[in-house]
Amino acid sequence: MRTMGAHYHARLQAVAAAETLQALEALPRPLARSWSEILPRLGSVHIQCEGVRYRYPGRTQDALADVSLTIPPAALTVLIGPSGAGKSTLARLLLGFDLPRGGDIFVNGCNLATAEPESWRSQCGWLPQQPVLLAGSIRENIAPGEDEPDASRLWEALARVELEARVRSLPEGLETRVGQGGRGLSGGEMRRLALARLFYSQPAFVVLDEPTASLDAETEAVISRAISELARNHTVLVIAHRLQTLREADHLVMMEAGHVVAEGSPEAVAERVPAVGRLLGGASRD
């Protein structure tokens, strides 16, 4: 029986792999031109998902099922929902880390499936819950890979996250060393430094995963102000549960079990989903 079970499991994996290959084969071939040609850096983009479906290899249930939503330009869109709702999976597709198995994602009217993934990813910024910082200087962490970054832009990026005064007070300033993984920095300083990287690189589309989780109230307020500033001229998507972030949203999307159950202004979603109304009511009393 054990051998039969192993063979059955292996067959399921083989079938899933074949289905994945067939789905990828059916996608339009990438165009020769890159996103830097299709979408010059305008500061923000309009994103539209239409019937997006995704299933992880070896699984029998879709992680995303017929997802349709809008992420407006120059605005803060907040994505909420319980664990397992599909929020992180959707973020992966939007950032070009994987392709939908069905449906389409359009950026300024252009289908993501028809351009080079790496070219699109170069237009995106991503801040996970645990920011990735290098063992190097503050300068190298804000402008990784640049031999001679623009000093004025570096200081401006630090000012946007309210770290300029702190860094200027350090003996080595921008050349102050940061340990691997942000060693030597507090959790709040790590996230602010990672946000400064986004202000410096000016991506068209930014995804932030729980950017204010586990922070004290003062640091949370600093990061919330920085995110609001970023969203003035960029397309920003925040995956969040925090009341503060819900209150500041321009556009709200709620997901459950791989589906979008409500979308629109926070007030419109609150009318449809009583639980959101209670959350927003609590936020207004904070």
Share of the chain above pLDDT 90, in %: 62
106 contacts: CB under 8 Å, gap ≥ 6? 47, 48, 49, 50, 112
pLDDT recorded at residue 154: 98
pLDDT at position 213? 87
Domain 42-123+223-285 has CATH 3.40.50.300: yes
Say if CB 193 and CB 141 are below 8 A apart: yes
Pull the structure tokens for residue 179. 């340990």
**C-alpha of 178 from chain center:** 24
- What residue ranges do the domains of the chain occupy? 42-123+223-285, 131-202
Q: Do domains 42-123+223-285 and 131-202 have the same CATH topology?
A: yes
Task: Report pTM.
Answer: 0.83
| Residue 229 pLDDT > 90 | yes
Residue 117 is predicted with a pLDDT of 84
Compute the distance between CA of residue 241 and CA of residue 260 in angstroms, rounded to an integer. Answer: 16
**Confidence at 28, pLDDT banded by 50, 70, 90:** very low
The topology (CATH level 3) of 131-202 is Rossmann fold (3.40.50)
Q: In angstroms, how far apart are the furthest CA atoms of the chain?
A: 68
85-139 pLDDT, tens digit each:
999 999 999 999 999 999 999 999 999 998 888 889 989 999 998 898 999 999 9
